[in-house]
Structure 1
């Protein structure tokens, strides 16, 4: 038998029908990952451009849109650090004071309010809970004027009190709602057993509810930190003394509409101001996912 006859008689193996759906599914996954990677790169481009621009001379920042600087200027960081009335450390410390006070205020006040809504029976509980939820829809611009008038009468302008005291009074309804949803997921048998053993509400709140609510507390801490650290509008309204400026307000002073703006120093200090947020989000990402997943916010 010749070679040609052997080749002709050799059976041709066709692709199994079951393998075709797997190939199509694999192709869809590859295409999906390519699209998601392209979208992620598109969203990260402004951040990457800002980081690259912090190493460029001012003359090349807007002339060269590439992510790889053709000329590197490392002086933007030391120049930006000392360009304002105080070293940039001063503004970082001011922001840190406000952030720490806001985080502690939200953790204590919002958790106590959430415990009251989730575990206590009092007259008008549903009504006040609905009012609390409706307050989430109020924009800051609708309440900033009466707040400014009130704080001006209390002589709190140019202090950190207007930015910290409202947090102690549980004004962030979003975190109250988040903790209420989490507290409702804790079995009532635990609190009922504690009542039988003679524990009061404060002891139940402190020794039972809070230790079991670590994901919700961590989520509140991270979101409060990020929102307070990046808050520009409220800090600009209540802090008019340059000695009291925080990081967002201090960054605004690098841009001058009547003179040449220090864009390189601005981008350099913006990168520095983002470092605490990245570090916090890096270590607290798992708590954010767990906290939101366990409170029913989907």
Structure 2
């Protein structure tokens, strides 16, 4: 009885301590954004600034290369929104095909799609760059958004697992009522995929928002840079780096991510638990 009395308090204390440990880098970056750049690493052992420098947010927002940080945020949002819409729509349609349609070689193509999950992204960088260069897509957002319209393997697997839990009797009833395959997808399957669609959209948002390699490879003009490149531009190997401004804008760049998480955390849990992925 005594153990049960102390079990939950001990559990919550340990979880809170672990949460603080994991969040410490974020807290350090937050308070460092109010320090002078030259003192950030000198006083790295001190979490709180001795003098609060709010000017870091002003100078950071001014951006680099003559463009404000708002331009980079808008560029990132444009890429993220288009890529997320493409990934969610295409992945759900492909998942419907794998889960509900019978065609020759279905198991082979599904296994081949699953194998791409184990393929390192670095392997396809050079072939993709050559293809996009020949298409004349370099220095545009097309290489960053168009591939999303051909499905994302992880999202396809997630949705296939969910669609397989939907009773096949719904398909038969809809077919009897005159629904074709596309109408069956739009009228029956898609509305039931809300939690999985939300999960895929959230993950796509996160991955695209934090992507650095793609924009670095394909975007050459400063007016088209994303947030990830803009943060990197605060660092200068030849002169003093603006660490204060970089940390200040890093904190601002976390705001959309945190807002999306708290707004849709329920959908994340529901999507994972109802898609055959819970332990």
CA contact (8 A) 2:161 2:275 kept: yes
Q: Which has the larger radius of gyration?
A: 1
Give runs of aligned pairs for residues 1-298 of structure 1, distance below 5 A.
22-65=1-44, 66-85=46-65, 86-170=67-151, 172-298=152-278
CA contact (8 A) 2:56 2:248 kept: yes
- What's 1:14 paired with? none
Separation in structure 1 between the aligned mates of residue 119 and residue 239 of structure 2, nearest angstrom: 38
Separation in structure 1 between the aligned mates of residue 188 and residue 171 of structure 2, nearest angstrom: 8
Separation in structure 2 between the aligned mates of residue 52 and residue 26 of structure 1, nearest angstrom: 38
- Measured after TM superposition, the shift of residue 282 of structure 1 is 0.5
Separation in structure 2 between the aligned mates of residue 247 and residue 149 of structure 1, nearest angstrom: 25
Give ranges in structure 2 of 5+ residues lacking alignment: none
- Measured after TM superposition, the shift of residue 46 of structure 1 is 0.3
- Measured after TM superposition, the shift of residue 27 of structure 1 is 2.5
Separation in structure 1 between the aligned mates of residue 223 and residue 38 of structure 2, nearest angstrom: 31
CA contact (8 A) 2:33 2:56 kept: yes
CA contact (8 A) 2:63 2:230 kept: no
Separation in structure 2 between the aligned mates of residue 69 and residue 214 of structure 1, nearest angstrom: 45
- Measured after TM superposition, the shift of residue 241 of structure 1 is 1.9
Aligned positions, number: 276
**Is the partner of 2:160 in helix, strand or coil?**
helix
| Superposed CA offset, 1:124-170 (max 9, x none) | 00000000100011111000110000000001011000011100111
- Measured after TM superposition, the shift of residue 229 of structure 1 is 0.3
Separation in structure 1 between the aligned mates of residue 16 and residue 39 of structure 2, nearest angstrom: 28
**Is the partner of 1:117 in helix, strand or coil?**
helix
- Measured after TM superposition, the shift of residue 29 of structure 1 is 2.9
Separation in structure 2 between the aligned mates of residue 42 and residue 276 of structure 1, nearest angstrom: 23
User: Normalising to structure 2: TM-score of the pair?
Assistant: 0.97
| Superposed CA offset, 1:161-193 (max 9, x none) | 0011100111x1000000101111111111110
User: Normalising to structure 1: TM-score of the pair?
Assistant: 0.90
- Measured after TM superposition, the shift of residue 30 of structure 1 is 2.6
Separation in structure 2 between the aligned mates of residue 59 and residue 154 of structure 1, nearest angstrom: 46
- Return structure 1 stretches of 4+ with deviation > 4 angstroms: none
**Is the partner of 1:121 in helix, strand or coil?**
coil
Separation in structure 2 between the aligned mates of residue 297 and residue 217 of structure 1, nearest angstrom: 15
